[in-house]
Amino acid sequence: MSLQESLNRFQRQQEKCQTTLTRITTRATLPKVVQSHKATPASNSLAPSKVTASVKFSNDTERLQHINAIRKSPVGAQLKRVIGLLFETRQTLTPEEINEACYVDINSNKALFDSLKNNTKVHYDGKRFSYKSKYDLKGKDQLLSLIRKYPEGLQVMEVKDSYPSVLEDLQALKAAGQIWLLSNMDSQEDIVYPNDPKVMIKVDDDIKQHFREIELPRDMVDIEKELQKNGMKPATNTAKRRVMAQFHGITSKPKPKKKREITKRTKLTNAHLPELFQN
């Protein structure tokens, strides 16, 4: 039976129950009306009697239409809805509990059931479904322990779905000086590094100046190559990312350089050549 037929049948049942209940209410009040007529004088016998209030049933049509729209949506949309529910609740739920919470009937949709069972973000134990992140972390202490295992850096995107407040904990660890949270300007990916207080040393100013004078390659690909030559594993793969961007037709647009205008506050170093500033 289709959902529309169920709606029509439900509407007919409402009308039938409405009629039956009205008749029962009328019959129940009829003896009281007769007794009141016998007890009152003839002059008041023509007084209008109170009209019986009709009983109204709640209209559940909109809810059923909403459920029908969800179940007729593509498998991908229903899959996203279920994964979102598992991510927010962080509970192990049966198909019946999922259906009750978000109106997605997994048992009646084999394609959806198989996609959910084989999804990398979902754990299925044979009876219940739950959200599965790459790292099973429960709080700030476990997050810090994991970061310290990656002195070369750990991408934030790999841990941001471990538990709901992981991003807030990263900011708290950064404020406490226990980690370094840096952004890769080329790949726009945040990388977190451990800040071990045991390796804190004092560096002379001449060494700092020498370090700042070292000119790095402008291209991130060249930087990654230099790191690999020195036996270090880069936290990013710019070459692979650019190939994927070209495959999907995404091109990076260089930012136009703003033309510097000369104002009254501009410091002129060639004031003895006024002809240069005529235009």
Q: Give all domains of the chain, ordered by start, each with its CATH number.
A: 60-131 (1.10.10), 140-194 (1.10.10.580), 205-241 (no CATH)
Against a cut of 0.85, is the pTM above it? no
**Angstrom distance (rounded) from CA 77 to CA 70:** 8
As averages over each run of 10 residues, the pLDDT of the chain (279 residues) reads 69 72 58 45 45 50 86 92 91 92 91 92 92 90 93 89 90 92 72 81 87 85 87 83 76 57 55 51
Task: Count other Cβ atoms within 10 Å, centred on residue 154.
Answer: 22
**Angstrom distance (rounded) from CA 202 to CA 62:** 69
Cβ-Cβ contacts under 8 Å for 236 (sequence gap 6 or more)? 184, 186, 187, 189, 191, 220, 224
Q: Report DSSP state, residue 164.
A: T
Produce one character per residue of 35-57: b if its CB has 16 or more CB atoms within 10 Å, e if not.
eeeeeeeeeeeeeeeeeeeeeee
Among 111, 123, 129, which Cα is nearest to 75's? 111
Provide, for the chain, the percentages of residues in helix, strand and coil under a 3-state DSSP scheme, each rounded to the nearest 5: 50, 5, 45
| Structure token digits, residue 5 | 């037929």
